[in-house]
Chains A and B, each alone.
Chain A
């Protein structure tokens, strides 16, 4: 999740009247992976489980929105988008089940009551990084989730 829910410009008394720019969560994530974590676009697309062209579209949209906010002195609000939080899932090592949390961090497995639970990290398709590159047609349609354009 982003550290803050948005950014405000300062130094102009008109900023309050201008409309905010809405940066979607997937656009924030694309920017973070590409420019902050310094992944290349193929790696970032594989992490986000989308195709490389889709990643580029999201990334371009993110940069355009941020440029708009900078130039026009508008606020940036980070919210919405088509996202899924994987860290919401937990795995019980005793009975092997997965479960989600409702409010607080769980201490016991809701099924067998065992305390040896851990945050579940879904297995990544490692080979997808190579197969997503330069092959024209994406062979991993099954694994990618389509992002709905705004």
Chain B
């Protein structure tokens, strides 16, 4: 395992691979700073470029992008009081008041250092778990893998939105959509609408870009031409931010560990992790009086957690092939595009690639923090560029990216169809990430289902592992449905 880690570092630091990591970091910083565009849009933008790419370069680029979005999204949160992405909402609570007092640089400085430390702790946690995971992975049979996949899907469905039924519906939509095209178990074409284009099924790039990028573009454009008319004054306190982090180093470690730990749970996105950590830091603080008025601990806690989350989220993604979030689903899909089969065998057969992921997180966080520090002035100005000036170019980029999937005009039409679908889902509050994750997991779930039913018939349902995971799944989904019903009822009574 140690040898694989060293080899992975050597591979990653080769100029061509490192260049792609750097490219991912730069694009990630750019996406993070644009309010409204998050990791999903970023991943969707770069994913088409991974066609035919070497897996190391592709993985480094995507991980680089995903790792630093929560670094640069601090700029708009602190300077303008607008979340750069869902992962920096809680940072506004104390970051923006600090900026209003002329201490924006202090908040940014503390946030960048915490992001850096958090990201590295997340990577360390991931690498620490990997050696222990191998025996667990080896002990799992197909029935358990099927149940783990269903558990992951169920958790994402009920935890990623406010309405678990709509989450389950979105997941089912993804699972059904994934069954279009050739059946993985026999040479039968399903739901092809009598077109050649759908013989290979729905294309993931069109689905991901359509579901996530186009609705965000339309939402940003509908709000008006300019993202914000506020000024971005950095203020002072770069060194003070560093001193604040040194003074609160245990806080940084504690929240990075919480972030990585919660990131492990499928379905809990950046926004939830951010707020949980903000809640925890207030709960355990002796002096709570300054929170919401510019307490630096209110910046340190969420910023340490949201970068550490990436390492935690990769644990189920790598070990079981269960993406806990939309961006992890895209990472898995990109691995497939690059010819790597994700799933439990990945750690056994592609240990170096797994460690490339670990190193990429760590190096990307260092690069991201360094760039954010050095170029903070110009970067902060990017946030006030009117979105309508950037949008046409991003639309052209994603259109070319989607078209690259099969070079068929159907790629563009399906992009449009999923864009409209994404807009409707966004507007009606149906979570989109479960649909994407359902789509990505559709083929493995069907394959597992076919294998267990043909090999074990109904006997697999009595295996202890299956029963335990099944009971856990029923409990989580049942509890979510029950608590959602109670919440709605109490809101209704209040009104």
Do A and B form a real pair? no
| Chain B residues in the interface with A (C-beta under 8 A) | none
